[in-house]
Amino acid sequence: MAGARAGGGWAAIGYSWRKAREAGGILPLWRAMRSRNACKTCAVGMGGQKGGMVNEVGSFPELCKKSLQAMAADMQPGIPGDFWHRYPIARMRQLTPRELESAGRLTRPVLYRRETGRYEPVSWDEALGLVASTLRATPADETFWYFSGRSSNEAGFLLQLFARLYGTNNVNNCSYYCHQASGAGLTSSVGTGTATVVLEDLDKTDLVILVGANPASNHPRLIESLRRVRARGGDVVVVNPLREPGLERFKVPSHPWSLLFGSEIASWFVQPDIGGDLALLTAISKRVVELDAHDAGFLAMHCNGWQEYADSLEAHAWEDLIACSGVAMADIDRIARRYADSDSTIFSWAMGITHHAHGVKNVQALANLALLRGMVGKPGAGLMPIRGHSNVQGMGSVGVTPTLKKAVFDALEDRLDVQLPTSPGLDTMACMEASDAGHMRLGVCLGGNLYGSNPDADFAASALRNLDLTVYLSTTLNTGHAWGTGAQSLILPVLARDEEPEPTTQESMFNYVRMSDGGPARLEGPRSEVQVIAELARRVLGVQGPVDFESLEHTRSIRQVIGAVIPGWEAMSAMDTTREEFQIGGRTLHQPRFPTEDGRARLFAHAVPDSRSLEPGETRLMTVRSEGQFNTVVYEEEDLYRGVSSRDVILMHPRDMDAAGVKAGDRVAVHGPAGSLYPVRVTRFERLKPGNSAMYFPEANKLVSRTVDPTSRTPAFKGAIVRVEAMDQPSA
């Protein structure tokens, strides 16, 4: 399969027409996309009260394949009634992620019992009764509560409140497996754990340094902002071990000239080895200081740790930085000089930075580089993590974390007149490890795919298998429902965002809170997440419990509480009256005043990780997503941009293929720290830096160990050393 010569374009338009037919026609899909609901996919955000396909600055049409894929999935018919009879759990486990997703919408609660080996439909009363009785019989700290970023702020806030009143702080969200390192790193450096810029800043910058991210596939609407940077004479420097085709050239469908002729996105690429980011960022900083391009006045007035950082830069030997990064001195010098010439630079990154055992240090190194020239604290410049799920940032904001911020903890106790638990809560990996050790009995998952998101897939299945009961609130099936089963597993079908009976809210990666109107349910059976959570809370805590969960069954009441207890969210209290969406206060840094104890930012000096030499047949591996998927959800088997027709592949540079003694199309076994995968097909991919390879997430999770960053507890999905072993090839 040949790769696309450019991302987007007529192929994307044709795909949109096909999706429209699948969803019941162009008009129904258009109406759904234009409804006043926030986009269901990435955290760039669009929709809400300004109307579907409109962003916060009023731009229209803001649309991409990811938006269409998610909407079309929600417009599927229900899962056929005989599905559960035809597919016992053993057969469900043979289905691919795409086959499970496209089986249809969940419409009835279904219960899996290990002794029957299959899911069977049950009534809502039986389902909720089972969850409530199991919770009442289970010590609170033997339960965990996992939240996907696709849910609403209201559902997330309500469920974490229920969990804490039930008695546990084992409350965590999917960011622990993606951008928790960004939050921890940014907070330590500049005092806020989110983007320091707003969307409009991308129209004021002259340089974007994009590190470890592939927005062409994963955040396509961000490409239009990057196109405009290039159109007005700015540069986009892409740092990635893999030259992504969609970042070389993209045909933006909403821009006629770009659609016809294509737009160059990357000014140039810098290709470090996987795991070489910290060395590269340190090297760029060292070169900037050598060029005397750092802002000494800004550093003295607004930063702590500058002298220690300067001393560490001087102590780093160039030969070590070059060897550990895998980047030549000429490339380091080029990017440093371009940065030195910039008036306003935005640093942007995704999981190529955070998915490492030193992910927090990577983020701090990015912040160091930005602070070095005063690129935080003014318009058109700053730090911009590219987050995944449409409301993953909101989940963290409204308290879906093991430890509540003191201001939130105190406000909740005071506002609701309750006593919250103070015992330490466990993060996502800690909950999984406790389950594996037999210390957990019940897990509640608000959306998402906890099994599919975990490294070491065999461990993940084993850990969840130890539970007495797993509870999933879901719209469609995924591999977690097949492999993440306890002695009993219950799936509760819930409404999609644009089907909710009452408005809900979502927070974008730019700290912008949207309100979604909801709409009519497409199918009978699914219930509102908020209604399900409130009903469970009443059954477990009682109607005379510490909080009136009957009142909190209405999202307006939840917003009143959120506005009163979450700093920066005061506008939430009036949102139902004003319908005004808002920017969260205290996070956007357009002035050099930092939300830290002393109002100053901080620079961090770090040692650079050693680069391990590779034996013949070994490569460094990064798990990646395809153009046809969104997080763990796989919509299409093929990866259009990279020219890959299936997902059971390892992308290798020709030099590494020769070293391993394999050729394109060969079946191989890939051995990683946690396990092996076979048969895997070798795909020749010259766009990779030699010594590095790529395989698709979540399938390749079987290879990845449970090594985590010690600060953020985010697993190192990237940087594992794997060995490629030739297998006997089928005879012709």
Check pLDDT > 90 for residue 65. no
Comparing 342-351, 596-605, 625-634, the range with the smallest average pLDDT is 625-634
SS3 label, residue 191? coil
Q: Which residues pair with 621 in a beta bridge?
A: 693, 720
Comparing 85-89, 354-358, 606-610, 681-685, the range with the smallest average pLDDT is 606-610
DSSP structure class, residue 557: H
Check pLDDT > 70 for residue 406. yes
Phi, psi of 670 (to 5 degrees): -115, 120
Cis peptide upstream of residue 690 (ω within 30 degrees of 0): no
Q: Which residues pair with 211 in a beta bridge?
A: 239, 349
Using an 8 Å Cβ cutoff, are 621 and 721 in contact? Answer: yes
Check pLDDT > 80 for residue 2. no
Q: Cα(339)–Cα(333) distance, rounded to whole angstroms? A: 10
**Region 380-393: what's the mean pLDDT?**
96
Angle between helices 277-290 and 306-315 (to 10 degrees): 100
SS3 label, residue 136? helix
Helix (H) or strand (E) holding 585: none
C-alpha closest to that of 244 among 627, 645, 692, 695: 627
Q: Which residues pair with 126 in a beta bridge?
A: none
Using an 8 Å Cβ cutoff, are 468 and 3 in contact? Answer: no
Using an 8 Å Cβ cutoff, are 418 and 165 in contact? Answer: yes
pLDDT at 253: 85
pLDDT at 255: 84
Tokens of 633: 């959800």
pLDDT digits (tens, 9 = 90+) for 129-182: 999 999 999 999 999 999 999 999 999 999 999 999 999 999 999 999 999 999
HSE (side-chain half, CA atoms, 13 Å) at 704: 32
Check pLDDT > 90 for residue 7. no
Q: At residue 137, what is the residue type?
A: A
**Region 495-511: what's the mean pLDDT?**
98
Tokens of 182: 């960004």
Cis peptide upstream of residue 424 (ω within 30 degrees of 0): no
Check pLDDT > 70 for residue 702. yes
Q: Cα(721)–Cα(607) distance, rounded to whole angstroms? A: 21
Angle between helices 9-22 and 26-34 (to 10 degrees): 100
Cβ neighbours of residue 186 under 8 Å, at least 6 residues apart?
A: 192, 193, 194, 196, 363, 367, 383, 385
C-alpha closest to that of 206 among 223, 224, 226, 222: 226
pLDDT digits (tens, 9 = 90+) for 623-664: 999 998 999 999 999 999 999 999 999 999 999 999 999 999
Query: Which residues of 127-190 form beta strands (DSSP E)?
Result: 143-147, 171-173
Cis peptide upstream of residue 679 (ω within 30 degrees of 0): yes
Q: Cα(72)–Cα(214) distance, rounded to whole angstroms? A: 23
Q: Cα(606)–Cα(279) distance, rounded to whole angstroms? A: 9
Using an 8 Å Cβ cutoff, are 432 and 176 in contact? Answer: no
| Residue count (the chain) | 732
With a pLDDT cut of 70, the percent of the chain lying above it is: 99
Phi, psi of 492 (to 5 degrees): -105, 120
Q: At residue 165, what is the residue type?
A: L
Q: Which residues pair with 144 in a beta bridge?
A: 443
Contacts of 113-116 spanning 24+ positions with Cβ under 8 A: 113/487, 113/488, 114/485, 114/487, 114/488
Q: At residue 423, what is the residue type?
A: S
pLDDT at 39: 95
Check pLDDT > 80 for residue 126. yes
Phi, psi of 37 (to 5 degrees): -135, 145
Residue indicated by tokens 């470890």: 212
pLDDT digits (tens, 9 = 90+) for 242-299: 999 999 999 888 888 888 888 999 999 999 999 999 999 999 999 999 999 999 999 9
Using an 8 Å Cβ cutoff, are 304 and 601 in contact? Answer: yes
Check pLDDT > 80 for residue 729. no
Q: Cα(186)–Cα(192) distance, rounded to whole angstroms? A: 6
**Region 407-421: what's the mean pLDDT?**
96
Q: Cα(109)–Cα(130) distance, rounded to whole angstroms? A: 12
pLDDT digits (tens, 9 = 90+) for 561-572: 999 999 999 999
Phi, psi of 180 (to 5 degrees): -60, -35
pLDDT at 257: 86
Domains and CATH numbers, the chain: 7-74 (no CATH), 107-174+394-580 (3.40.50.740), 180-386 (3.40.228.10), 618-726 (2.40.40.20)
Q: Is the pTM above the cut of 0.75?
A: yes
Angle at 109 between CA 108 and CA 112, to 5 degrees: 130
Q: Sort strands 618-624 and 692-696 into parallel, antiparallel or unpaired.
A: parallel
Q: What share of the chain is helix, strand, coil (3-state, %, to 5)?
A: 40, 20, 40
Q: Given pLDDT bands bounded at 50, 70 and 90, which one contains residue 1?
A: low
Check pLDDT > 60 for residue 731. no
Angle at 513 between CA 511 and CA 516, to 5 degrees: 150
Q: Sort strands 718-726 and 667-671 into parallel, antiparallel or unpaired.
A: antiparallel
pLDDT at 693: 98
**Mean of all residue pLDDT scores within the chain:** 95
Check pLDDT > 80 for residue 554. yes
pLDDT at 254: 82
Using an 8 Å Cβ cutoff, are 370 and 295 in contact? Answer: no
C-alpha closest to that of 217 among 239, 188, 246: 246
Tokens of 223: 């490409």
Q: Cα(224)–Cα(510) distance, rounded to whole angstroms? A: 16
Q: CA-based diameter of the chain, in Å?
A: 74
Within 10 Å of residue 270's Cβ, how many Cβ atoms?
Answer: 22
Burial of 317 (0-12, 13-18, 19+ CB in 10 A): exposed
